[in-house]
A and B are shown apart, each in its own frame.
Chain A
């Protein structure tokens, strides 16, 4: 799935959180979105996933315009995301969180449940097994039944990634997925992202971990004060004077 943004802006009152952003993410690409804090990266993700509407510009998935769609319709196009501040369902167990993520793939058929058809029981069983398999993929299988609120940050992020994968998305938006993780956890997430891209999914990744970005991403877009200041390969933007100035100019 390809994602393209053309002239996307989002203003809050007088402040332009995102200013005329234009870039493209290719099919099955791992694309990094980096920039100093407050550069507008999360706002961009909110615009793509439909939680915000752009004040101008277009956002397209495989050529189809999505910027006027409500979030649940964007999700139905195959978009899934994680959140910078982690938005797990705290009162639910890890496996239940992931089952919710499967919402789009499950069949509704409530009347079958009402009539106690065995197919309904099988469907529920299959949903749970799929969820547990996803948790295994992120290394959280043993903690499946525990409440999400009992996990460490790193563990919660892993569950959130599993939940995002549950809808079998074609575009995965990850907002700082390795924040709060130790190097081993972060490396595991990097491996997972690579696998996911090899499966044919497109990944847009906000990250502060520069080394991770360099290793994982095919292309990178750099944001500062809401504007795109550089686009290119990781090696290329590392040399870009504008990028260096943006990061160094930010102070310690």
Chain B
């Protein structure tokens, strides 16, 4: 049994890391903002954590993680102030631009070996660390619902103009969620860096934030636990179906991509509220049939 566990330990770790990343995108989606900056925030957190661990190994891991969450959060503020005024797709594009700028920065920074990145990072991330961090994050989002802030965020998502005339400071709320998402992404980046031994700019491109978005959307953004469900589903499924792919003569890379794309398409077209809305849908279908 423990052999099985060891074999799948990495997969489980990635389920948690991806869950955290999907939640980080959900933070801004919950108030209706499509921010695609989180690969950039993740990179900042990952490099921060890796650099501290490599250059100052005596610093306790908790402090490293705190720094990995703090720095992206701080960067999020000057990014958010000008950019959160933009509507829908323009915000998305601006944040994609930010993510690319961050990636290019690390590609060109000699101190971090540019495109090669940092290697031999000690594996300080344990499974229980991931469990605790994810659980705390879920708890945070869960408690947000029903609170004054939670209601305000939903209002902003539904109709920002109406929300403003009710006294809701929409920019402050949106900025808070951007900062929260940045902190979570940075945290996840650092946790991943200390799990996979390496940090390189290639892992923080547009494709990475697309993965996060896809997982959040497939899981469902109507519920706070939706993104984590999506992350788990999309991380595990390709592994389970790997056999099938090989049997069909498909290379693992394309097969995984194809699955992601196909599942996303089916969800966005037929199950727009994500996997978490499936039980309610089925129940309604059953009731209508009866």
Pick the contact of A107 from B148, B152, B167 — CB < 8 Å?
B148
- Residues of A in contact (CB 8 Å), total 36
Any A CB within 8 A of the CB of B129: no
Within 8 A of A (CB), among B240-283: none
Within 8 A of B (CB), among A71-122: 71-72, 74-76, 79-81, 83, 87-92, 96, 99-101, 103-104, 106-108, 110, 113-114, 120
Contact flag A99-B164 (CB < 8 Å), given A87-B159, A89-B159, A114-B143: no
User: Which A residues contact B (CB, under 8 angstroms)?
Assistant: 49-51, 70-72, 74-76, 79-81, 83, 87-92, 96, 99-101, 103-104, 106-108, 110, 113-114, 120, 124, 127, 163, 167
Pick the contact of A96 from B151, B161, B162, B167 — CB < 8 Å?
B151
Pick the contact of A76 from B158, B167, B170 — CB < 8 Å?
B167
Chain B neighbourhood of A92, CB < 8 A: 154-155, 158
Counting residue pairs across A and B whose Cβ atoms lie within 8 Å, the total is 87
User: Which B residues contact A (CB, under 8 angstroms)?
Assistant: 139-140, 143-144, 146-149, 151-152, 154-155, 157-159, 161-170
Contact flag A106-B148 (CB < 8 Å), given A92-B158, A114-B143: yes
Contact A167 B166 (CB under 8 A): yes
Contact B147 A100 (CB under 8 A): no
Chain B neighbourhood of A72, CB < 8 A: 164-170
Contact A103 B170 (CB under 8 A): no
A107 to B148, CA, bound (A): 7
Pick the contact of A51 from B139, B161, B166, B167 — CB < 8 Å?
B161
Pick the contact of A110 from B147, B155, B170 — CB < 8 Å?
B147
14 contacts between A and B (CB under 8 A): A51-B161, A70-B164, A72-B165, A87-B162, A96-B154, A100-B151, A100-B154, A100-B155, A100-B166, A100-B168, A103-B166, A107-B148, A110-B149, A167-B167
Contact A75 B148 (CB under 8 A): no
Contact A51 B152 (CB under 8 A): no
Pick the contact of A89 from B147, B149, B158 — CB < 8 Å?
B158
Chain A neighbourhood of B157, CB < 8 A: 91
- How close is A83's CB to chain B, nearest CB, in angstroms? 7
| Contact residues of B: prevailing secondary structure | helix
A120 to B144, CA, bound (A): 12
Pick the contact of B165 from A81, A108, A120 — CB < 8 Å?
A81
Contact B165 A103 (CB under 8 A): no
Contact B161 A103 (CB under 8 A): no
A208 to B34, CA, bound (A): 40
A240 to B4, CA, bound (A): 89
A106 to B155, CA, bound (A): 15
Q: A87-B159, A101-B166, A103-B152 are in contact. List 9 more A-B contacts (CB 8 A).
A: A71-B161, A72-B170, A79-B165, A81-B165, A88-B159, A91-B154, A92-B154, A96-B154, A124-B146
Chain A neighbourhood of B148, CB < 8 A: 103, 106-108, 110, 127
- How close is B170's CB to chain A, nearest CB, in angstroms? 7
- How close is A113's CB to chain B, nearest CB, in angstroms? 5
Best-buried of A72, A81, A107, A167 by chain B (most CB within 10 Å): A72
Contact flag A103-B158 (CB < 8 Å), given A72-B168, A80-B166, A167-B167: no
- How close is A1's CB to chain B, nearest CB, in angstroms? 15
- How close is A202's CB to chain B, nearest CB, in angstroms? 16
Chain A neighbourhood of B155, CB < 8 A: 89, 92, 100, 103
Contact B147 A71 (CB under 8 A): no
Contact A89 B154 (CB under 8 A): yes
Q: Across the two chains, which residue of chain B brings its CB closest to A87?
A: B162
A50 to B163, CA, bound (A): 13
- How close is B132's CB to chain A, nearest CB, in angstroms? 16
- How close is B110's CB to chain A, nearest CB, in angstroms? 43
Contact B147 A124 (CB under 8 A): yes
Contact flag A89-B162 (CB < 8 Å), given A100-B151, A103-B151, A104-B167: yes
Chain A neighbourhood of B162, CB < 8 A: 83, 87-89
